[in-house]
Amino acid sequence: QISGLATGLREGGLSASDARRAGYTAAQMLDAGYDRAEVGASLADLKAGGMTAAQAYDAGYTPAQMAQVGYAPAGGTNSIGGVLASQKAGGMTAAQAAAKGFSPAALTAAAYTPEEITAGLAERRQGGDCTAQQAKDQGYSAAQLIKSGYSKAEVGGTLGDLKAGGVTAKEA
């Protein structure tokens, strides 16, 4: 309701600074179509002001930026995983989600299966889009890397780590 009013005012020529003086929050201003640069608030400020995870993603913030300011990877609709669940419902694959920066924890929270997660990582590996080190940095386990087709030398995980992650002796 309020964002709709702000949209009308923006379309009528209300500047971002005038909208701020009128009491609109940064989140409302972004919803109304103001540019992030015009709004001038950090994501942490926007989150503190009530910006939901979906609004942050729609405004162009990456999952990594969202995680840095405290949006949880899992925990319902107002989480990174919740955002991803709605993207999954729209047809986003695990590989597409990972390429957009969603972590393995967010993929799990969005109900991708372990097989979909490792197949998505394998697809990215085959396409040359993700090295073993990049996958590790994104939060993939040694077991997930092995199951996605990375070599033991690339992964560098101990046998204990691999066994704990469900890798069989034959796979290792």
pTM check: above 0.75: no
Over residues 46-73, the pLDDT tens digits come to: 888 888 999 899 888 999 999 999 999 8
C-alpha 163/C-alpha 116 separation (Å) is 20
Q: Are 39 and 3 contacting, i.e. CB atoms less than 8 angstroms apart? A: no
Residue 1 reports pLDDT greater than 50 = no
Alpha helices in the chain (DSSP H): 2-11, 16-21, 26-31, 36-39, 43-48, 53-58, 63-68, 80-89, 94-99, 104-109, 114-126, 132-137, 142-147, 152-155, 159-164
Read off the pLDDT of residues 106-147 as tens digits, 9 standing for 90 and up.
999 999 999 999 999 999 999 988 999 999 998 998 889 999
Average pLDDT over residues 7-35: 78
Mean confidence (pLDDT) of the chain? 84
